[in-house]
Amino acid sequence: MARFPRPYTPRLLYTLYSTRTTASQSPSPMTTLLSNNFHLQFRHFSSGNLARAAKEGEEPWWKESMDRLRNIGISAHIDSGKTTLTERVLYYTGRIHEIHEVRGRDGVGAKMDSMDLEREKGITIQSAATYCTWSGYQINIIDTPGHVDFTIEVERALRVLDGAILVLCSVGGVQSQSITVDRQMRRYEVPRLAFINKLDRMGADPWKVLNQARSKLRHHSAALQVPIGLEDDFKGLVDLVQQKAYYFHGSSGDKVVIEEIPTDMENFVAEKRRELIEAVSEVDDKLAEAFLNDEPISPTELEEAVRRATIARKFVPVFMGSAFKNKGVQPLLNGVLSYLPCPTEVSNHALDQTKNEEKVTLSGTPDGPLVALAFKLEEGRFGQLTYLRIYEGVIRKGDFIHNINTGKKIKVPRLVRMHSDEMEDIQEAHAGQIVAVFGVDCASGDTFTDGSVKYTMTSMNVPEPVMSLAVQPVSKDSGGQFSKALNRFQREDPTFRVGLDAESGQTIISGMGELHLDIYVERIRREYKVDATVGKPRVNFRETVTQRAEFDYLHKKQTGGQGQYGRVTGYVEPLPPGSSTKFEFENMIVGQVIPSNFIPAIEKGFKEAANSGSLIGHPVENLRVVLTDGASHAVDSSELAFKLASIYAFRQCYGAAKPVILEPVMLVELKVPTEFQGTVAGDINKRKGVIVGNDQDGDDSVITANVPLNNMFGYSTALRSMTQGKGEFTMEYKEHSPVSHDVQMQLVNTYKGTKAE
């Protein structure tokens, strides 16, 4: 073993080691030697000397490496330029060596859009992970889709990230999906920067967008930059913190030239800087003190104050630029390092399963026991690929890890770092990093530990599917591949559900919208070579009761030998509005008229009966069943008898509870030129929509409406023909609400007709 001329400090060793793993070129013999020696010294150090180092007041070995790590996501409305921005980030950080556009003429497509379908349609379908280094910092990036149909991809990316960039279009401003994404960022308490993109486009107005962010997103925000010129005259940016002007030269904007602020902009810049200091001092006491005493505020003081306020989620710094024209990306990367938190600055909680799900705050350091969350699954060429975010501890190749949700013990056969669809094998990873493992069988949202603790991370919020399609393979022989594809997609995507229609025997797939299901049908055709026929889209209706109804049912059957006997008495009623559960069962029997071991069977019977209401055979929601009395027989009563009694009792009283049908209502946002406003509004009324808002945005009208999903099929074609192709719309699920009486009669008659057939 070669000896080092001087003892290496653990921090230096770790830095040497991590630079070896992040470098894209192959390691030199010296680096390999360093790496091998690192492992020896690391093991030696981590056993006894770690405690000694802590006693002597030295910083732990991981401190510098953790401070130089950022986990960020890039999310926004459709076509705001997320993937284009990620492409530029990868180019400037040296991860890729040439830039390709999303819908470029060369046909290569952006690096992060690795699926053929993504490259063809020019949209992001799956979130893709990558990493890069900038100024000695390592940044893990997840690029997410903008379409509301793929909202789960954004949801699970934000669940595991420490910070995010919200991209806003300088022309479109704050749009419906921007609001949804911002709501998700709030739900997971993610600090964020805003980036106003596309300043080179006609009609770009960053100040309008900034005011929209304040009013619509309720952001406490201010600009950190001022553009030098707009639209075709957009030349560069003035940094309000450092008070310097940045220009971007070279064919790809990689030469950043720093100059003094142009003289004609000095007054405007001074006014905007004062506005920035005022906004930050409202939420930061240290800066407020200096501001009120009229002390001159240095760039360092201002930068530190913005960082404190951003990490505390009290302030959103706003950056500007044009990713497509290669301007403003490098200052944004500096902003990520300066203002977004490192993994140790974010508090994450786990639930201790041994102490009745008590909340435990994780240290977020490599010293603790391993805690990792599987947040995304993907079927790769080599089997299932599981993306893990490590919250605490270290994971090594060959280690045994425990899946807390299933109780299984698994060996880590292969550990990789992802760069879109490419992989790089690594030996180990520590807290704060995002890695992937092969050959680990688990579900999305499972927690892994090293076995010393029984923690689970809180899972993410999964929205309910709003639309269903009937699908079946064209040829009988391809049934195996077809079910394999559906099983895989169901495991990968929690919002994609597969079921069987008991009456027609068809396979029903459910998802978040037309585009979502179309993409999956197309993927079955491409990836599994199975042609599938698609039926008419079906809407996921629900049923509910509107008043209290009593039931008293006796189920008695005598057929020689042991018979069946069970009597249940009680009532059903609607749950109060806003209740968290969809079904509630309460046993109010005093005494032992029904033995307690039969109560679960009664609850099961009512649950089963509520799976299909008698109006149109859809599940019954917002239902409370109360059991008040009953009777049993010493010999003939059984679980089956009581289960059947409750099913028949439910059917008996259901009609008296005045049931209604609920349909999914979508929040639709339309942007149409003002001259077509009347036609479009008339069409929405015809579709039984309720217009809830109408704003003016330049020459366009922005109409917000609540429209039943059943009346929205094929709307994109209708809207294009009404507005000469100039209108656009987005929709997302809002709620289930009761249908009108005539629609209910129509649906019931259709259901009875199909049943009779």
pLDDT digits (tens, 9 = 90+) for 545-565: 998 999 898 888 877 777 888
Establish whether 403 is an annotated binding residue. no
Establish whether 83 is an annotated binding residue. yes
Residue 358, CA distances (Å) to 226, 351, 448, 635 in order: 48, 5, 18, 45
Establish whether 742 is an annotated binding residue. no
Taking only the tens place, the pLDDT of each residue in 413-430 is 888 887 766 778 888 888
Taking only the tens place, the pLDDT of each residue in 449-508 is 888 888 887 766 677 777 778 888 888 777 788 888 888 888 778 788 888 876 567 788
79-93, 137-151, 613-627: which range is least confident on average?
137-151
Contact assessment for residue 265 and residue 234, using Cβ atoms and an 8 Å cutoff:
no
pLDDT-derived band at 132 (thresholds 50, 70, 90) equals: confident
pLDDT-derived band at 8 (thresholds 50, 70, 90) equals: very low
20-24, 379-383, 714-718: which range is least confident on average?
20-24
CATH of 661-752, one of 2.130.10.30, 3.60.10.10, 3.40.50.1010, 3.30.70.240: 3.30.70.240
Establish whether 662 is an annotated binding residue. no
Q: What is the reported pLDDT for 40?
A: 35
Mean pLDDT for the chain? 80
Establish whether 197 is an annotated binding residue. yes
First vs last C-alpha separation in the chain: 82
Q: What is the reported pLDDT for 421?
A: 66
Per-residue pLDDT at 244 exceeds 60: yes
- Domain 542-657 adopts which CATH fold? Ribosomal Protein S5; domain 2 (3.30.230)
Establish whether 419 is an annotated binding residue. no
106-120, 151-165, 202-216, 561-575: which range is least confident on average?
106-120
**How many CB atoms sit inside 10 A of residue 748's CB?**
14
Establish whether 145 is an annotated binding residue. yes
Establish whether 143 is an annotated binding residue. yes
Per-residue pLDDT at 37 exceeds 60: no
Taking only the tens place, the pLDDT of each residue in 329-364 is 888 888 888 888 888 888 888 888 887 778 888 877
Contact assessment for residue 360 and residue 348, using Cβ atoms and an 8 Å cutoff:
no
Establish whether 182 is an annotated binding residue. no
Q: What is the reported pLDDT for 318?
A: 92
Per-residue pLDDT at 19 exceeds 60: no
Contact assessment for residue 71 and residue 161, using Cβ atoms and an 8 Å cutoff:
yes
- CATH class assigned to 348-457: mainly beta
Contact assessment for residue 619 and residue 510, using Cβ atoms and an 8 Å cutoff:
no
Pairing of strands 623-631, 564-574: antiparallel
Per-residue pLDDT at 114 exceeds 50: yes
Establish whether 77 is an annotated binding residue. yes
- Domain 467-535 adopts which CATH fold? Alpha-Beta Plaits (3.30.70)
Q: What is the reported pLDDT for 35?
A: 39
Q: What is the reported pLDDT for 317?
A: 92
Per-residue pLDDT at 705 exceeds 90: yes
Establish whether 198 is an annotated binding residue. yes
Q: What CATH number does the domain located at 62-339 have?
A: 3.40.50.300
Residue 293, CA distances (Å) to 222, 277, 281, 287, 302 in order: 22, 13, 12, 10, 15
114-128, 280-294, 708-722: which range is least confident on average?
114-128
Every domain of the chain and the residues it spans = 62-339, 348-457, 467-535, 542-657, 661-752
pLDDT-derived band at 42 (thresholds 50, 70, 90) equals: very low
Per-residue pLDDT at 7 exceeds 80: no
Establish whether 398 is an annotated binding residue. no
Instruction: Answer with the residue of higher pLDDT: 113 or 476.
Output: 476
Establish whether 147 is an annotated binding residue. yes
Establish whether 19 is an annotated binding residue. no
pLDDT-derived band at 704 (thresholds 50, 70, 90) equals: very high
Residue closest to 537 by CA, chosen among 521, 525, 552, 553: 521
pLDDT-derived band at 108 (thresholds 50, 70, 90) equals: low
Establish whether 144 is an annotated binding residue. yes
Establish whether 272 is an annotated binding residue. no
- Spell out the residues 6+ positions from residue 394 whose beta carbon is closer than 8 angstroms to its own: 366, 370, 428, 429, 430, 431
Mean pLDDT of 687-700: 85
Q: What is the reported pLDDT for 725?
A: 67
Q: Rounded to whole angstroms, how far apart are CA atoms 436 and 142?
A: 13
Query: In b/e form, how buried is each residue of 435-467, taking b as 16+ CB within 10 angstroms?
Result: bbbbebebebbbbbbbeebbbbbbbbeeeebbb
Domains 467-535 and 661-752 share a fold: yes
Radius of gyration of the chain (CA): 30
Establish whether 162 is an annotated binding residue. no
